[in-house]
Amino acid sequence: MKITIGYLYPDMMSTFGDRGNVETVRRRCAWRGIGTEITELKLGDPIPAGLDLILIGGGGEAQQRLVAADLHKVKAPGIRDAVAGGTAALAVGGGFELFGRFCQPERGAEYPGVDLFDCWTIRRSTLLGDDYGTIAQAKADRVIGELVVQWDDRLLVGFENHSGGTYLGTAAQPLGLVLTGHGNSGTGTEGVILDSAVGTNLRGPCLPKNPALADFLIAAAVGRLHPGAELMPLRDELEQAAHDDCLQRVLPAGRIRRVRPGRAAGTGPARQPRLTRPQRSPQRASRTTDAATRP
C-alpha cells in the first residue's frame, strides 16, 4: 500500500519548519507499513492526477507574493478537483490564507486564492519582509503565542504567528473552537475543515504534536484508495508527551477536564480514525456571504 503526497512550494512556504508535517506523515505511514511517494510541486508545476494528500506550509507576505499568482492560476483548479474527489489536504498559516478566496495585504492589490475554503484574510499591517526591530513591535502588529483548539472531542495544540484576521463565509465550517489564543479573527473559532481538507493557523509544525490530526489526514488518504480500511494504532508516547507539555503550559487543568474523558490527550487511549469516505459538503454554488459581515 502506498499514498502519494503533493508538497507545495517546499522552497518558499516552509517558514516555521513545515517540512516537519511532511516527515510526520511519512514516518507514521512507514510505522504502519504504508509507503509514501512525495512529489514536490514548485512554481509552474500543475497538480498531477492521483494525489492522495496535499500539503502546504506557511510563509510571510513576501513568500505569499511570490507564489500567489502561480497557486491561483496554475494549481487552484487541480487542488479543488482533487479535494472534491476525496484527496486530503493540510494548509497551514500563510498557505491556509491562500487556500481561501483571497488574502488582502495592508497595502496593494489582494492576492486571489485557491477558493477551496469559503474564507478570506484581511491583513492589518505589515513590514516589508516581516523585518521587525523588536519583539514588542512584532507583537503589536501580529498575533503571536500558544494556540489550543477543541476539535470535536480532542484538543489540538501549537502556536500562531499571523497578522490580520481570517473571516469565514456562510459555507465554511471551522476546524474547532479556541480555548487559548486568537485563532481566525479573535471571535472564538480556528481554522476551516472541508471534507478531508484542513486549513489552520497552528504552526510549529503542527502534526508532530497532534497525532490525531496527522492520522485523520492519513486515514483519508488511505481511505481514498481502500475504503473501509483502518489504521493500525501507534503507541505515541513521545507525541503525547509533547502534546501534554504544551497543554500544561498554557491551559488550566480545570479546562482540560471538561473534555470528554478518554478523548483528550493524556486522559485515555486514543481513538483511531476509521477510513470511511466523509460526507460531501453543500454545493459550492450555494456559498454566499452577508455583505454586512464582510470586513
Using one digit for the tens of pLDDT, what is the confidence trace for 70-109?
Answer: 999 999 999 999 999 999 999 999 999 999 999 998 777 8
Domains of the chain, CATH where assigned = 2-277 (3.40.50.880)
| Segment 27-48, tens digit of pLDDT | 999 999 999 999 999 999 999 9
Please give the angle made by the CA atoms of 263, 22 and 200, to the nearest 5 degrees: 55
Output the pLDDT for position 142: 74
| Confidence band for 190, pLDDT divided at 50, 70 and 90 | very high
142's grid cell = 501580529
Q: Which letter, b or e, does each residue of 54-76 get, where b requires 16 or more Cβ atoms within 10 Å of its Cβ?
A: bbbbbbbbebbebbbebbbebbb
For residues 200 and 206, give the distance between their C-alpha atoms in angstroms, rounded to a whole number.
9
What's the pTM?
A: 0.82
- For the CA atoms of 195, 152, 38, 36, the dihedral, rounded to the nearest 10 degrees, stands at -100
pLDDT tens, residue by residue, 100-143: 999 998 777 899 999 999 999 998 754 444 554 554 554 556 78
CA distance 234 to 46: 35
